[in-house]
Copies of this chain bind each other. A is one copy, B any other.
Amino acid sequence: MIRAAILGATGYTAFELMRLLLRHPGVELTMLTSRQEDQPHVGEVHPQLYGRLDLRLQTTRVDEILAAADVVFSCLPHAASAELVKPLVDGGARVVDFSADYRLTNRAEYEAWYGVEHPDPQRIGKVPYGLPEWFREEIREASLVANPGCFPTSAILPLGPLLRAHLIEPDDIIVDSKTGVSGAGRTPKLAFHYPECNESISAYGVGRHRHTPEMDQLLAAHGGQTVEVLFTPHLAPMERGILSTCYAKLRDGVTERDALELLRNTYRDEPFIRVVDHLPATRHVSGSNFCDITVRSSRGRLVVLSAIDNLIKGASGAAVQNFNCMYGFDETTALL
């Protein structure tokens, strides 16, 4: 049994991770941490887990984590995460990091977008981006994996292969995403107070969301040239799910059918990518690790649509898929 610790165990991604790992035949959860001084029982923090897991949330100490766990899932926010990930990896643990700390390969870009000095700059650019569909080989051997952002996952999974195959133009790509409120985390704020976001939809951070450079970087690698995505996230009155509606110019002579075929061929053997004919809805993937994708063409543009559960394929499911990859389990273990 592989012993697992979860850092930052009070939030929604940590909860989903526990729910998934409790179903995993090869994992034992041995430690949960949080900043709460009173060490609450996990059943108080997440009443859904009452009676299922007998652990208290402890404050963080690196040596204790290293003693208790083989693998560490960090659900900490950026910068706070890398500060702990550094000594943990140095100390021999394997880590899946949910934060953005090791996703961007350019330190200056990271520090500009995130407004902090990177706590572990030597590792920047050496950590595989945790999208097994693209980087399975690197993930298998890695001691540290950068779990992808939720919005990038939904957008790049379909856009990447289309760029690589030169079916769409690399310039003038627009990603219009709609997400549920759980993506904002579990800390109460006015913007996420029930009567404020119920029955309302709005954009936020137009052109300034931190997932923008992540999309740019991954798509540039696929397209072989600079990509500058115009990204607009929206908050929708639902708990979970991301629908991304992406707009790209079709290359001359390329049809909707060409694009669909390419995606179908690319992901034919992937257990969690479903290239479908119908228009995807977040409901279809809710609670699952699937990414449903389709395309439509209209007026010279390809409209690329994809749906994921932001907490599963966009976070904790991806982490378990990465873990399975790292430890040689079937990638679907605990995920179907």
Interface size on A, as a range, is: 35 or more
Check if A201 sits within 8 Å of B228, measured CB to CB: no
Known contacts A274-B51, A299-B207; A201/B174 CB under 8 A: no
* Interface 9-residue window, one of A106-114, A126-134, A145-153, A188-196: A188-196
Using Cβ atoms and an 8 Å threshold, which residues of chain B touch A229?
299
Which of B48, B52, B192 lies in contact with A194, CB distance below 8 A? B192
Q: Tell me which residues from 14 to 30 in chain A have a Cβ below 8 Å from any Cβ of chain B.
A: 22-23
Using Cβ atoms and an 8 Å threshold, which residues of chain B touch A288?
48
Using Cβ atoms and an 8 Å threshold, which residues of chain B touch A208?
298
Q: How far is the CA of A258 from the CA of B80 in the complex (A)?
A: 41
* Interface 9-residue window, one of A63-71, A91-99, A237-245, A318-326: A237-245
Check if A193 sits within 8 Å of B195, measured CB to CB: no
Check if B234 sits within 8 Å of A199, measured CB to CB: no
Check if A336 sits within 8 Å of B188, measured CB to CB: no
Which of B22, B193, B237, B297 lies in contact with A237, CB distance below 8 A? B237
Known contacts A194-B198, A284-B50, A299-B230; A23/B336 CB under 8 A: yes
CB of A186 closer than 8 Å to a CB of B: yes
Can you show 27 pairs from A to B with CB atoms below 8 A apart?
A47-B284, A48-B285, A50-B274, A51-B274, A176-B245, A178-B236, A180-B199, A182-B195, A186-B195, A186-B196, A198-B198, A199-B241, A199-B282, A200-B241, A200-B283, A200-B286, A201-B241, A202-B282, A202-B283, A203-B305, A206-B303, A207-B297, A207-B303, A229-B299, A232-B245, A236-B236, A236-B237
With A206-B303, A234-B243 already in contact, 6 other A-B pairs whose C-beta atoms are closer than 8 Å: A174-B174, A178-B201, A197-B283, A203-B243, A206-B305, A207-B296
Interfacial residues, chain A to chain B (CB-CB below 8 A)? 12, 22-23, 47-48, 50-52, 172, 174, 176, 178, 180-182, 186, 188-190, 192-204, 206-208, 228-230, 232, 234, 236-241, 243, 245, 247, 274, 276, 278-288, 292, 296-299, 301, 303, 305, 307, 336
